[in-house]
Amino acid sequence: MFARRLGPDPHEGNAKSAGGSGCPDIFELKTGDFAIIGIDITGKAKPQLPSSASCGADESIIWVPRKTLVLARPDIPLVL
C-alpha cells in the first residue's frame, strides 16, 4: 500500500506533535496516489467550502501544517 514517505520523518530527533501523539505525515501509495495523516476538520470546514467545491460522504477535509507540506515538496513528483 505505502510506497514511501514524502518529506522528513516527523518523529526525527524525538519530535512530538502538538496533540501529543501521532504526527501529520504524507505518503505516496504504490498506486501513485497519496495518503495524508492530519487533523480531520470536515465538520468545521465543510460549511465554508466555496460553491464550486464539495466533500462527499466518503471524503474528509484534513488539516496539514504548512511546514509538513513545504518540507515534502522536494519529494512530490512533477509528472502526472
Cα–Cα dist 23/15, whole Å: 9
**What band does 9 get if pLDDT is binned at 50, 70 and 90?**
very high
User: How many Cα atoms sit within 13 Å of 31 on the Cβ side?
Assistant: 4
pLDDT of residue 19: 57
Number of domains in the chain: 1
The answer as to whether 30 is a domain residue is yes
The answer as to whether 25 is a domain residue is yes
**What band does 79 get if pLDDT is binned at 50, 70 and 90?**
confident
The answer as to whether 23 is a domain residue is yes
pLDDT of residue 20: 59
More confident residue, 77 or 21: 77
Please give the residue range of the domain that contains residue 69. Answer: 2-75
The answer as to whether 80 is a domain residue is no
pLDDT of residue 16: 67
Taking every pair of Cα atoms in the chain, the longest distance, rounded to a whole number of angstroms, is 43
